[in-house]
Amino acid sequence: MKRIFGGTLVLAALLCASLSAQGPGADDQNKALLAEIEAAWKRQEEAFNEVEIEWKEELFMPKGSQSNLWQSISESRARLMNPSGEPIPATDLRLHSSSKVRLQKSDFSMERKQAVWSVNAKQFELSVVVHFFDQKGSWLVRPTGLVDWHEYKKHPSARFGSKLICDGSQELPCRPIAMAFRPTHKAFRLFKLEEMSILSPNEMIDGVDCTKSAIYINGSRSTYIALWLAKSKNFLPIRWAHVHDGTTRLLYSVKYNQSISKNFFPSSWSVTNTDDSKRVLESFRCETVLFKDASVGSVKLDLPAKTFVHDRNNPDGKQYYIITDNGSKRYLSAEELLYPYDQLIEQLQSEKSGRLNWVYISIVTITILFFMIVVCVWFVMRRNKSSVP
């Protein structure tokens, strides 16, 4: 009887402790801790006004991972990307590339090479992609070799609009960069503090004292992002995982170094992307090779001639244009949007030739008129002079 009573007391004590941990006091502690995290993130953001960083990447894709991914998305996409139905890549593939970021106040540019599958060449090609962000809140993606799946042609293109800089799975490697430099900025922000729940205020990860938190997606407890925030490193995440139905689909691990200004930047990081069966789809290993938290000069955006632009910030009728040789914008009509890119360029060239012809004709005409006027004036003056007695 004493054992039962003692056990009941223990259970009651545990229950009371559990209830007290979930009560108003715990909420106040969480709010205070979230306020401390927000303050640290703001300090981190304010410290990096001018930054230049370069890193090298190694992308690993196991045999058949991409064709399996396309098939899981849709059969039509799988047929479009992989008409032969063979495993893509045919063998385990490793690609090496380099990337760089420049940041000056609110102006941001990132240049990296993205692996793009070429249907014609039947291989992955590294295509340069440039992201640009300025104080207007717009962004840019500019593949210099964007594949047009209808034409199987390549041409420079650009797209503007309101979107997160590092949104989408294609930009998995850049997320630690965005988190370290602009953790609370709306264009770079990957995690919202108001959606964050503290799971454990103290937890050791790789010998670092961390605060473990979670962000539940769509209010579901089965899908969430777990974050381990390093207290000694401005609460920047040294690990975060995207968990779906108990399976970790995406896992980041980050190491930081201190800059001259004693703030933290990613020195190396890895990303592993898996499917529901825990099969690796792709993984990245990144290592910083250059870091400067000093003046890097002006971050400018220069689009080359013949770039096809989709500017969603503009009103209808002026959203699509092509950059001409003199840097001006040649807006496209709804009918012209149906033309192939090569035909548009030929049309622009013919318009340019037509303008040059008119300029040439105008110059010749003016020259002839000027010569005729000079001759007439000379004739009149000579006649007047000869008529004088």
Q: In this predicted structure, what is the pLDDT of residue 353?
A: 66
Which residue from 251, 243, 100 is spatially nearest to 174, judged by alpha carbons?
100
* Strand-pair category, 236-244 with 247-258: antiparallel
Give residue 6's pLDDT.
Answer: 44
CA Rg value for the chain: 31
Residues pairing with 357 in the sheet: none
Cross-strand pairs, 131: 110, 141
Q: What share of the chain is helix, strand, coil (3-state, %, to 5)?
A: 35, 35, 30
* The predicted structure's pLDDT at residue 149: 42
Q: Which residues of the chain have pLDDT under 70?
A: 1-26, 135-154, 161-170, 295, 353-361, 382-389
In this structure, the chain runs to a length of: 389
Give strand pairing partners of 236.
230
> What is residue 7's predicted lDDT score, i.e. its pLDDT?
43
Residue 136, φ and ψ in degrees, nearest 5: -80, -10
Q: What is the pLDDT of residue 165?
A: 59
316 φ, ψ to 5°? -60, 140
Pairing outcome for strands 157-161 and 139-141: antiparallel
Instruction: Kindly list the structural domains of the chain, giving each domain's residue range(s) and its CATH number in brackets, ordered by start.
Output: 41-292 (2.50.20), 308-370 (no CATH)
- C-alpha count within 13 angstroms, C-beta hemisphere, residue 376: 6
Smallest CA-to-CA distance from 198 within 223, 224, 166 is with: 224
